Structure formats: structure tokens, C-alpha cells
Amino acid sequence: MEANYARKIEDLRRRLEGASSVLILTHDFPDPDCLASAFGLVHLFSFWGMKLSTISFGGFVGRAENRAMVRFAQIESVPFMLVSLEDYDRIVLVDSFPGVGNVSLGAEARIDAVLDHHPHTPPRDADFFHDIRQDLGATSTLVTRYLEAAKCPVSATLATALFYGIKTDTNEMSRNASAEDLECYKLLFDKADHRLLSRIEWPDRDPEYFRILHTAAESMTTFGPVGYTHLGHVQAPDYIAEIADLFDSLQSIQWMVCSGVFKKQVYFSIRSKDGERAGEAAEGIAKILGGTGGGHSNMAAGRVPLNGYTQEHALAKLVSGMKEIFGVQGTEGQYLLKDRADRRE
């Protein structure tokens, strides 16, 4: 195992050799795992003598916890729209894969390295460095291994970020967590700054969060074992994932689907309690609606352009697609809060 990482990081180092600037790209609406991974790579690359590594993403950081992480760990980034690709000698993609749709980088752009743990298979003739570890619950685990193998010092702040990345992506070691994730989790636990961690995990929240909670509860509908809620327009798409996580805890359901509209696209997140076919379902629903989707067996997401259709039309299609994919076409929806309509008056 160790030797494997040593070889991998040697490949990566060679791939970056001679570069003085590296652009590290994450998903447009980054989660703690990709932020921590990118932050870890900044440390690794500077340890390797690269003068400039810049973290960038197309959207912004939405969840209060993630914003707290960026602020307290001082993870610096540049908005993708302000980045000139030609200013960078190398481009590295973390926690994502070329052409997946959640990264602003154009399909024609050159990529030098990809580090990911989502189920993607690089083409045989891929001319970029790639380490795609589907067996890992978090890219942060992979980056922790790289730092270890490179003997790069890990500060308490970096350890905290990586720990939180693994913790959130594996839902505290309960989701897709491998022995390696657990090993890194323990290692980072000892190195982390737990006061900093607590400030990240219990952040101040803006009123928008509470408005969304209210909307989510009011719109929550069950179709047998499938829960569904729609948040309307959201200020950041990661609220959708957050609500999917929270509402997946409803007793009676096996699957949870949450949708919302952001910048003329319907975003949706799917959770599966038993870790069954969430990724497949997201792909299937996206296919029916003409969008993109995919993910893990127990957590997945997708997005569909409105293409001039109204939100209502798109949602009706989303709901019928969802019912088809989960095989609950004949089931009538039940509001979680039965008196929803009355209470609205």
C-alpha cells in the first residue's frame, strides 16, 4: 500500500516538475472534502517547491459550515471567472472528473492531473495523471496518504480541514468508509485542532438557512418509501444536499430526493439509507429530464437545465421521473405536515 502511494506521488511530482504555478480546481459549489483536498495539495505543491498554487471553483461556498471552514482555516481561492488558464503551467482537478458537469472548466481545456473517489473510469488513452480511488470514502483520505508518502508536514489547521473532509464525506465513518479512511481519520483526529473543528461544525447561520428549513418541511412529501421536497429558488445549490441529508433521517423512508432551482437549472440530491442505487437513480432521472447526474450508491446528485420551461413544468417532470425510477408510479404523495394547505391561509 505504502509503496503504491510512493509510486503514485512520484508520478504526480514528475507530471508537475518544472511548473511554477498550478491551478487546483474543485466542483463549482465545493464541499469540505474537495476544499480540504485542494488545501492539502496546496501544501504538498509548495513543499515540492512550486511557487504558486491557486484553488479555484466556478460557483461559491454555500453551507455555513463550509464557509466557516474556509474562513477559519484561511483557505484562499480565486473565482474561476477571474482565472486565466494560460497563467498556469499545470491544471489539477480534485474530487471531480473531466466532463462531469459540476466543474466550470471547458471540455476542451487541458488537464494534467485528476484525483477523485467518484465512480469514473479514465479513458485508456488518458494523457493526464489520474488516481481515482472508488474504494475511498473521501478524496481527503487520498490527499492525506499523499502528504504522508511525500513526508510533507501537516499543520493542525490542515489536519482539521482534512479530518472534516473525511468526516462529512463518510457521514462520520458510516458511509462508503474503508479501512484506509478510518486509519486517516484516526491519524488526523490526533493532529486536528478541535476548537477550530468545533467552530466549523457549529457555525453562525444566516436567516436563509431557517427559511429553507421551513420550506423544506412544508413541501416534504412521501411516495411510499421515497421522500421528496422542493426548496424553490435557493441562493446556493449546496443547501439542496444539506436538506437531503437532514430529511433522509425521516423514519418511514428509504430514499430521499431534494430539489431546488439555481440559475435556471433544477438541482437535485438523492440519498439512499441502505446504500442502494442512489447514483443509478440520479443518472436515470437526469437522463429522463435531459440533464446530468450520478454519484455513489448512497448519495448522488444531478442537475437539469430549465431550457425555457417553467419551474412547475420541470418539477412535474422531475417528480414523474423520480416515481418511475423508484417504481412508485401508482403511489399518491402524502405531505409530511398534513395540514399544510390549511396552515398556509
What's the min distance (Å) between Cβ of 33 and Mn ion?
A: 4
Nearer to Mn ion, 95 or 248 (CB): 95
Residue least distant from Mn ion (Cβ): 33
What's the min distance (Å) between Cβ of 259 and Mn ion?
A: 21
Nearer to Mn ion, 169 or 180 (CB): 169
What's the min distance (Å) between Cβ of 244 and Mn ion?
A: 15
The whole-angstrom separation of Cα 171 and Cα 297 is 14
Q: Are strands 299-305 and 265-272 parallel, antiparallel or unpaired?
A: antiparallel
Binding site for Mn ion (CB under 5 A): 33, 95, 139, 169
Nearest to 28 by CA among 123, 93, 74: 93
How long is the chain? Answer: 345
Nearer to Mn ion, 111 or 226 (CB): 111
What's the min distance (Å) between Cβ of 114 and Mn ion?
A: 13
What's the min distance (Å) between Cβ of 34 and Mn ion?
A: 6
212-216 long-range Cβ contacts below 8 angstroms, 24+ apart? 212/239, 212/243, 213/243, 216/243, 216/246, 216/247, 216/258
The whole-angstrom separation of Cα 162 and Cα 34 is 9
Nearer to Mn ion, 118 or 323 (CB): 118
Q: Please list the alpha-helical segments (H only) found in the chain.
A: 2-16, 32-47, 64-72, 139-149, 156-169, 179-191, 194-201, 207-219, 238-247, 278-289, 311-326, 340-344
Nearer to Mn ion, 75 or 318 (CB): 75
What's the min distance (Å) between Cβ of 137 and Mn ion?
A: 8
Nearer to Mn ion, 44 or 301 (CB): 301
C-alpha cell at 171: 457521514
